[in-house]
Amino acid sequence: MNRKTVVQCLAVCLLLSLGCLFIYAPTRNFSFVTFDDQNYVINNFNINRGLSWAALKWSFNVGYSSNWHPLTWISHALDCQWFGMRPGPMHLVNTFLHTLNSLLLFLLLRGMTGQIWPSAFVAALFAWHPMHVESVAWISERKDVLSALFFLLTIWAYWRWTRQNSPPARLAWYLTSLALFALGLMAKPMIVTLPLVLLLVDFWPLGRMTPFKRTTARLAFLCLEKLPFFALSAASCALTLIAQARGGAIQSLAALPLAFRLQNALISYERYLDKLIWPRGLNVFYPFNSNLPASSALWPAFLILALCAMGVCLRRSHPYLLSGWLWCLATLVPVIGLVQVGNQAMADRYSYIPSIGVFIVVCWGLADIVKNRPLPRLATVVLGVAALGACLISARAQVFSWRNGGALFQRAIDVDPNNSVAHADLAAYLLISQDWDHVNRECQTALRLDPDYAPTHEYLGYALFKQGRYNDAVAQFHLALRLDPNKHDINLQLGDVYLAQGLPDDAAAQYRSYLAYNDADPSAHFALGKALIAQGKWQDARDELSAALQPSLPFPEARVQLALTLSKTGHIAEAIDQYHTALRYAANDLEALNNLA
């Protein structure tokens, strides 16, 4: 590159970074949200005490939170190691990774195509688009920005491989791209379609697939090159299906028939395009609309076929059209709902990587329009800059919806008042403030909209428990478990209700059910210890209370109860030590002071 090109590239990188900082800097003051952050960080006691051999081993567990992404778990464990349980720095890590992805995308497109400004506009749209706020401003979506980093690095290494002449260098770059792809799959398996993207990159911009001239033989050869990539994709798919099946996240065909899934998939493709072009009505959760007629899928189907046909027809003069559009189609396949995971019809976060294909089509298309046309060039540049400015402002405004769970779900309700999940999760946020009347109203609204959503019954049960309505709370918890047997945290809450009712046998059974799923939770061992004390099983209680104590966790309440069991089993000196330790953390604990005396 000449000096002018280097300066231009540096200027673009600086602008991309400043734009990301402008949008996402406020997240340093944001909190966790009551939507997956509990499972991923707050209540995930396997990783929230920092990185250790135990955490590293657990990260490769198949099934927790219906996922297999060990690299993502390790990144969260590192966050907790470095920052403790402060969400601000965790948000900034996401921002850093997103900025890095934006810079890498620009440099990758610039390197492969030799064109600075279309590459810069694609990267700017990717960096500043409001639809990507969810992937960056949500701590639990670390897997999006992390997997995208390895996705782009894999393409980079693959591109370098195609440019090598010596066999050792080619082997090194090929193995590097394969290793980066494996790391990406361990961050989020959505990138399983990357081998198909590599084929599209072969077609454009690398030009390794001579268009429609001995196409079959050439395509077969290029596919053969990528067999190891396809093998990794197959392995990742298998692990993901196992994890999602164990977590109960996969919807059955009885619940969502195949015809409905196909209809929703076609409509979702059109909605993704619509929101990428005009990002309005963005929401953290898009519920299914089961009342749509079958004909509603006709226009999306026609649009998809028309864009495919246009790409084929213009394959020689404008190859980026076919490559970019198929990039979008292919990378959305794992999350388009044919294998339905969860209850959402679509999600903004799913557009993070697929949007790159759409942006390539738009930016290179506009570059072709303005080529050698001075007046349209000026108008297009002005229009492009205005669009990027609008993205910056809109994304900045969208970010503040993620400042806490209350703001997030209140906005979701403002966008769609009939969103039952938003009402339920707003109730979950309100549990923190103990605004029981408001919690009850939101839960009742959610149940009116969807009586079969298990979390609503869970949140209502917790509110009833805290209000002393134990029998009503038990009924709600049992209903939630019947609707979703994999919500193991309900067993913990049921145990608390039974213990409050003076039923330690029932409480202990519920705590053990929970610990069979999450043995690392110290609060559950503490609760089981209390239930065993109520049963008079002092030695068993001592074992559970000992398991509740961690080197980095003061937990004076557990130490007081452990001291009680020690004194009951004749270990007076050890009991005195535990009382002294408890009082070091809670100097005014009356039970500890009384028992020590």
Q: Please give the pLDDT value at position 213.
A: 52
Lowest mean pLDDT among 65-74, 177-186, 263-272: 65-74
**566 near 542, Cβ under 8 Å?**
yes
Cα 326 to Cα 357: distance, rounded to the nearest angstrom:
7
Inter-CA distances, 377 with 374, 380, 514, Å: 5, 5, 63
The stretch 371-392 carries a mean pLDDT of 84
Inter-CA distances, 569 with 35, 192, 262, 444, 532, Å: 43, 56, 64, 49, 14
Tally Cβ neighbours within 10 Å of residue 587.
Answer: 10
Tokens of 586: 């809670």
Locate the domains of the chain by residue range: 3-402
Tokens of 232: 């990794």
Confidence of residue 212 (pLDDT cuts 50, 70, 90): very low
Residues 6+ apart with CB under 8 A from 246: 62, 63, 66
pTM for the complete prediction? 0.94
Number of H helices, E strands in the chain: 29, 2
Cα 107 to Cα 116: distance, rounded to the nearest angstrom:
9
Using the CB atoms, write b or e for 11-36: b if 16+ within 10 Å.
Answer: ebbebbbebbeebbeebeebbbbbbe
**338 or 440: whose pLDDT is higher?**
440
The pLDDT tens digits for 457-508 are 999 999 999 999 999 999 999 999 999 998 899 999 999 999 999 999 999 9
The pLDDT tens digits for 20-43 are 999 999 999 999 998 899 989 998
- Taking Cα atoms as reference points, which of 301, 353, 303 lies closest to residue 324? 353
Cα 176 to Cα 154: distance, rounded to the nearest angstrom:
8
The pLDDT tens digits for 419-458 are 999 999 999 999 999 999 999 999 999 999 999 999 999 9
Tally Cβ neighbours within 10 Å of residue 471.
Answer: 9
* DSSP-assigned beta bridge partners for residue 553: 550
For residue 558, the SS3 value is: helix
Tokens of 237: 């798919």
Cα 98 to Cα 146: distance, rounded to the nearest angstrom:
8
